[in-house]
A and B are shown apart, each in its own frame.
Chain A
Amino acid sequence: DVKVTQSSRYLVKRTGEKVFLECVQDMDHENMFWYRQDPGLGLRLIYFSYDVKMKEKGDIPEGYSVSREKKERFSLILESASTNQTSMYLCASSLLSRGGDGELFFGEGSRLTVL
C-alpha cells in the first residue's frame, strides 16, 4: 500500500523556534511537495522537489526552507516560527510522469500551532 508518513500530527511551538517537519514516502516517487492548508485559502504550494537535492519554490516559500538529501525524505524547515505559520501542513508525493497521470498521494498532515 502506498504510504506517505509525516512525523508529527500535532505540534505546538513558540515564536522564534526552529521547526522541522519530516515526510517520508515508500513509493520511490521522484516528486515530493509541501503544502499548507488554511480555511478559505485551500492548499497552497510552499516548495517542491523533483529529485534528490533539487528544490523549487512554490507560491508561498517565504519563511520556509526544505531539504531533500534522500529520495524518500523531504523535510520542511521553519527557521524562526511565527504565529502566521500556524496551519495544517500536508506533504505529498507523485511519480514524475510525462503522461500527466501522476496523482498526488498525501500524508496525514501536521497541524502546527505557533504561540
Chain B
Amino acid sequence: GQNIDQPTEMTATEGAIVQINCTYQTSGFNGLFWYQQHAGEAPTFLSYNVLDGLEEKGRFSSFLSRSKGYSYLLLKELQMKDSASYLCAYLLYNFNKFYFGSGTKLNVKP
C-alpha cells in the first residue's frame, strides 16, 4: 500500500481480545477505514475514524491518532467467524482515493 503498514498475520484464541495496528504516512488525510475480508470474498466495511479517539461498534472498536499516524482495530470476545483478513485504508480528501494496507490475516483458534 501507499505508506501504510500493518502486521501480516496474527493468531488469537476464541473469546480473547486482539488488537490489530496500522500506521500510515500521508498528507491530505481525510479518514481511516477498516474492512474485513473473508477468504474468497469481497471486503466489507467495519469502521471509520476521522477524528482522534475511539469508535465503538459492538465487539469491534477502532482508534485513531492523527498526530501519530496510527490506528488500531480492537476485536473483543473473539469468535471463530472473525478469522479473516483485516484491511486498513486511508482516504485522500482531494481525490476521493482510498489507499489500502496489505491486510492482517487473523487466525482465531479454539
Q: Tell me, yes or no, whether B7 is within 8 Å of chain A by CB.
A: no
Pair A102/B50 contact, Cβ less than 8 Å: no
Pair A45/B98 contact, Cβ less than 8 Å: yes
In the complex, how many angstroms separate the beta carbon of B22 from the nearest chain A beta carbon? 12
A35, A59, A103, most chain B CB atoms within 10 A: A103
Q: Tell me, yes or no, whether A22 is within 8 Å of chain B by CB.
A: no
On chain A, the residues within 8 Å of B33 by CB distance are 103-104
Distance, CA A48 to CA B11, complexed state (A)? 35
Known: A40-B102, A50-B96. A59 touches B2 (CB 8 A): yes
Q: Give residues 79-103 of B contacting A (CB, 8 Å).
A: 87, 89, 91, 93, 95-103
Interface-located stretch among A12-20, A67-75, A93-101: A93-101
Residues of A contacting B: mostly:
loop
On chain B, the residues within 8 Å of A59 by CB distance are 2
Q: Tell me, yes or no, whether B70 is within 8 Å of chain A by CB.
A: no
Distance, CA A4 to CA B30, complexed state (A)? 24
Distance, CA A101 to CA B30, complexed state (A)? 9
On chain A, the residues within 8 Å of B45 by CB distance are 103-105
On chain A, the residues within 8 Å of B102 by CB distance are 40-42
The 7 closest A-B pairs by CB, nearest first: A42-B102, A106-B42, A100-B30, A43-B100, A100-B31, A103-B45, A42-B100
Q: Which residues of A are in contact with B by a Cβ distance under 8 Å?
A: 31, 33, 35, 40-45, 48, 50, 56, 58-59, 90, 94, 96-98, 100-109
